[in-house]
Amino acid sequence: VTLGVPKETTETENRVALVPDVARQLIGRGMEVRMQPGAGAGAFFADGDYHDVRMVEEREDLYREADVLLKVQPPSLEEIDLLGPETAVLGLLDPLGSPERVSRLRDRGVTAFAMELVPRVARAQAMDALSSQASIAGYKAALMAADLAPRFFPMLTTAAGTVRPAKVLVLGAGVAGLQAIATSHRLGASVSAYDVRPETKDQVASLGATFLELGVGASAEGGYARELTEEEKRQEQELLADRIADMDVVISTAAVPGRKAPILVREADVTAMRPGSVIVDLAAETGGNCECTQAGETVRHEGVLVYGPRNVPGRLPVHASEMYARNLANFLDLLVRDGQWAPDWEDEVVAQTVLTREGSVVPETVRERVE
């Protein structure tokens, strides 16, 4: 099997799908690796770091010759058109967000695997790119909040007086939220957190944070939250409002797979916060958890800074690429045996991760969105 690793075409993407260590392992497992020169540069990996990898100057050649293309961002329509029908693609393909791309992959006859679809079962943890990238996003969100805040996170006792710790509220205690809690706590903030899944309570407490009991519970299948009803949404917003007003920092990470992010912080709640308070909204790309969020922007709303960063894992490209590359390599183990393409289609992890195959869109949830 020949693996192809192009330079990511999304201009702001610094991650790369393969890092030198993982390339070496894959070559050791009988695969051949070809890359576009400079593919690793955004993550500070030089072409020379990739031993025994052939650099292919022409993107067209790389795409045509690859049996399996390894991507971070979804391929553009133009990239898809460079792929032969025998090609497989692995990447974060945004299966629910871009029907046009999914139908192009289907029509091209490409076998596409969307890493977002890896089931959240114990056996697949080492392939779970959503988790690896979310933990990076959560860590970085806490640092961004600390950086934007006009105050300290830790308590300080100094000759110039005592500083009370910042009050940080983390909304959504999934993978990103838990990392934001841990990082804020390490910086010395006084952290509280809230999630609609009551089972997160113990995890929040074990990180030294206080869980807010609001009495709204909404666990669903596969460890995810379900979308709240209109009445529950209103109730949740009302109950959160008082808590938010008392915070110096809110880091929001709430998400429901395939849906627009839930609004947890209304404009009035931002207005009620003290000037100098900060909101970092990790859900910005899916609509935001805060009504004032504008993706990619820092908005100043009556003295409160509301930041909605895009592609946060891409801001830590070294470790984001390393972790992502390992996720891909572990998944490739299910697709390649003795260096040959031999996916086990009966394997539930393979079966659930495949997005398009033999001219069809495989997951029903995606198929109903695609023409």
CA-angle at 267, arms to 154 and 149, nearest 5°: 20
Q: Which residue is nearest to ligand NAD (CB)?
A: 174
Q: How far is the CB of 20 from ligand NAD (least distance, A)?
A: 27
Our answer to whether residue 224 is catalytic in this structure is yes
Figure out which of the listed residues 12, 76, 125, 206 binds ligand NAD, where binding follows CB under 6 A: 125
Q: Residue 144 or 181: which CB sits closer to ligand NAD?
A: 181
Tell me the number of residues near ligand NAD by CB under 6 A: 32
Q: Residue 194 or 307: which CB sits closer to ligand NAD?
A: 194
Our answer to whether residue 81 is catalytic in this structure is no
Q: Which of 125, 206, 340, 360 is catalytic?
A: 125
What whole-number distance in Å separates Cα of residue 6 and Cα of residue 17? Answer: 9
| Contact (CB, 8 A) for 290 and 301 | no
Q: Residue 70 or 251: which CB sits closer to ligand NAD?
A: 251
Our answer to whether residue 194 is catalytic in this structure is no
Q: Which of 54, 76, 107, 120 is catalytic?
A: 120
Q: How far is the CB of 214 from ligand NAD (least distance, A)?
A: 9
356 backbone dihedrals φ, ψ, rounded to 5°:
-135, 145
Torsion of CA 9, 260, 119, 2, to 10 degrees: -10
Residues 6+ apart with CB under 8 A from 312: 136, 137, 140, 141, 144, 282
| Helical (H) or strand (E) element with 3 | strand 2-5
Note whether 108 binds ligand NAD by CB under 6 A: no
What whole-number distance in Å separates Cα of residue 319 and Cα of residue 313? Answer: 9
Q: Which of 161, 178, 149, 152 is nearest to 282 (CA)?
A: 178
Alpha helices, DSSP H, located in 149-199: 175-186
Q: Which of 33, 40, 12 is nearest to 321 (CA)?
A: 40
Find tokens 């990103």 and name the residue. 176
Figure out which of the listed residues 114, 225, 325, 328 binds ligand NAD, where binding follows CB under 6 A: 225
Residues 157-196 that bind ligand NAD (CB under 6 A): 171-177, 194-196
Residues 252-291 that bind ligand NAD (CB under 6 A): 253-257, 262, 264
Q: Residue 67 or 116: which CB sits closer to ligand NAD?
A: 116
Our answer to whether residue 29 is catalytic in this structure is no
Q: Residue 120 or 234: which CB sits closer to ligand NAD?
A: 120
- Its sign, for the CA torsion 144, 280, 125, 348, is negative
Q: Residue 225 or 290: which CB sits closer to ligand NAD?
A: 225
What whole-number distance in Å separates Cα of residue 163 and Cα of residue 241? Answer: 25
Q: How far is the CB of 161 from ligand NAD (least distance, A)?
A: 36
63 backbone dihedrals φ, ψ, rounded to 5°:
-65, -40
Note whether 69 binds ligand NAD by CB under 6 A: no
Our answer to whether residue 131 is catalytic in this structure is yes
Q: How far is the CB of 266 from ligand NAD (least distance, A)?
A: 13
Q: Which of 94, 224, 266, 347 is catalytic?
A: 224
Residues of the shown chain interacting with ligand NAD in the complex, contacts defined by CB under 6 A: 120-122, 125, 128, 130-131, 134, 171-177, 194-197, 200, 223-225, 228, 236, 253-257, 262, 264
- Catalytic residue ranges: 120, 125, 128, 131, 224
